[in-house]
Structure 1
Amino acid sequence: MTTQGTRLPAGVVVIEGSECPPATLGLWKHYERKGPAYGIGAGYTVALSELPADGGSMTKNVSSWVNQTQSDAKLISSKGTRILEAGKSLKEPAEHNDTVERVEWVQG
């Protein structure tokens, strides 16, 4: 994935492959943790429009998630907010696939 010349938001790293780094919320464009991928550190609010992918952005383009943090993540879309609990992974169900626009965190 090319992000050369692109400044990523604070708390965001590029993930190469299908392994999510510790203390990170991993998100992949495709199912089975394939395609462009990023990791978001716990506590960082990120609009997925700020994450480039295949000539577009990750907005409404994420199908796989892994939450390697100790915090619950809020996956926010026009269909509502869903919670991805700490330590859990998610393969988007058809009705929610490619809908998430923003990630926030549950305040503990």
Structure 2
Amino acid sequence: MTTQGTRLPAGVVMIEDSECPPATLGLWKHYGRKGPAYGIGAGYTVSLSELPADGGSMTKNVSSWVNKTQSDAKLVSSKGTRILKAGESMEEPADHNDTVERVEWV
């Protein structure tokens, strides 16, 4: 799948506001699951710099998460690594908003 002429990394699809397919980690640029959004399949390590958004990228630009996989996701940033457990969702707290640079898996 492509967006803005850019090929997306393996395991990544574009998704809509508030929608996240099963077995996918959903991430949205804005709070409330709005704005440019992508789904990452469990097990795929992805640098958010590879995901286009509003003329830039999703690196340091994600505010909402939903983990519909059966695996824990590692949200890696310069502030450290946090875990989003399987089946959980999160609106980024103010001190971590727009900090995640890469997604890995536990």
TM-score range, shorter-chain basis? over 0.9
3-state DSSP of counterpart to 2:32? helix
Match in the other structure for 2:30:
30
Count of residue pairs brought into register by the alignment: 105
Question: What code does the residue aligned with 1:64 have?
Answer: S
Q: Find out whether 1:90 has 2:90 as its counterpart.
A: yes
Q: Which runs of 5+ in 1 are unaligned?
A: none
Identity, in percent, stands at 90
CA shift at 1:4, angstroms? Answer: 3.4
CA shift at 1:16, angstroms? Answer: 1.7
CA shift at 1:18, angstroms? Answer: 1.1
Bigger mean CA deviation after superposition, 42-51 or 14-23: 14-23
Write out the 4+ residue segments of structure 1 that deviate beyond 4 Å after TM superposition: none
Match in the other structure for 1:101:
101
Instruction: Calculate the aligned-residue CA RMSD, in Å.
Output: 1.0
Match in the other structure for 2:67:
67
Question: What code does the residue aligned with 1:72 have?
Answer: D
Quick one: distance in 1 between partners of 2:6 and 2:98? 22
Match in the other structure for 1:48:
48
Quick one: distance in 1 between partners of 2:4 and 2:54? 13
TM-score (norm 2): 0.97
Alignment deviations for residues 46-101 of structure 1 (CA, whole Å, 9 cap, x no partner): 00000000000000000000000000000000000000000000000000000000
Match in the other structure for 2:18:
18
Question: What code does the residue aligned with 1:73 have?
Answer: A
User: Higher strand share goes to which structure?
Assistant: 2
Match in the other structure for 1:77:
77
Quick one: distance in 2 between partners of 1:58 and 1:8? 12
CA shift at 1:17, angstroms? Answer: 2.1
